[in-house]
Structures are given as C-alpha cells and as structure tokens.
C-alpha cells in the first residue's frame, strides 16, 4: 500500500541554521509530490510541488525540495531558517491514480 514517512517528528533549530526534513514514500508508479506547511493557528498552505521535470523544486519563502527517484525521497530544505518558519510541515504523495497520502508531519521549532 502507498505510504509516506516523515522521519523527524520534532525538529528544533536556532535561527540561521540549515534545515532538511526527510520524506520517503513507498509507491512504485509515477507520483506527484507536495510539501505543505501549517503555521500556528492557520490552515495548510502549499509550499511547493513536483509533478515532472527538474527534480529540484523551488517553493515559497526560500524552501526547496529535491526529488530523488532512486531513493523514493522528496526532502525539504532551507539554507537558513527564521523564527517565522516555526510550523508543522507535511509531505504528501499523490499517485497518478489520484490516491493521496500524507506523512505524519514534522513540527519545526526555530529558537530566536
């Protein structure tokens, strides 16, 4: 069955530190990949998505993610985090049959 794994449940960083959140999925076919962010008290927002083409995807607010097909991974990165990046981050995988699965989420806390 299709599944999405986010390795880190809670990540704590200081401002200006680099961020990488892991996301692995299990699905053998073609997929679309997403990262969503939920800021405290707000609803989900789309950070970035990958459908095809360049496996390095740029999103909003300085985030990027790299699709590595051989590793079934779609890790989220940001070179230098800010306090305002404190949020919960969800990875999601949408198979071409439109069956979508979410990871359990990673809570990021950025200390000022």
Partner 1 sequence: NAGVMQNPRHLVRRRGQEARLRCSPMKGHSHVYWYRQLPEEGLKFMVYLQKENIIDESGMPKERFSAEFPKEGPSILRIQQVVRGDSAAYFCASSPRDDGYTFGSGTRLTVV
Choose among 4, 21, 18, 7: nearest CA to 66: 21
Q: Residue 51: CB partners within 8 Å, gap ≥ 6?
A: 32
Among 105, 106, 108, 110, binds partner 1 (CB under 8 A): 105
Q: Is 100 in the site for partner 1 (CB under 8 A)?
A: yes
Tell the smallest beta-carbon distance from residue 99 to partner 1 (Å). 8
Q: Is 32 in the site for partner 1 (CB under 8 A)?
A: yes
Contact 89/81 with Cβ under 8 angstroms? no
Q: Is 107 in the site for partner 1 (CB under 8 A)?
A: yes
Degrees to nearest 5, angle at CA 85 with 53 and 66: 20
Q: Is 60 in the site for partner 1 (CB under 8 A)?
A: no
Among 25, 27, 36, 50, binds partner 1 (CB under 8 A): 36
């Amino acid at each position: 069955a299709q599944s999405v794994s986010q390795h880190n449940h809670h990540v704590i960083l200081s401002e200006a530190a680099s961020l990488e959140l892991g996301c692995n999925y299990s699905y053998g076919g073609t997929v679309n990949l997403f990262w969503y962010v939920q800021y405290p008290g707000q609803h989900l927002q789309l950070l970035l998505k990958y459908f095809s083409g360049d496996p390095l995807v740029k999103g909003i607010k300085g985030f990027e993610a790299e699709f590595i097909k051989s590793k079934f991974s779609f890790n989220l990165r940001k070179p230098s985090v800010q306090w305002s990046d404190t949020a919960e981050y969800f990875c999601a995988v949408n198979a071409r049959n439109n069956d979508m699965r979410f990871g359990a989420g990673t809570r990021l806390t950025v200390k000022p």
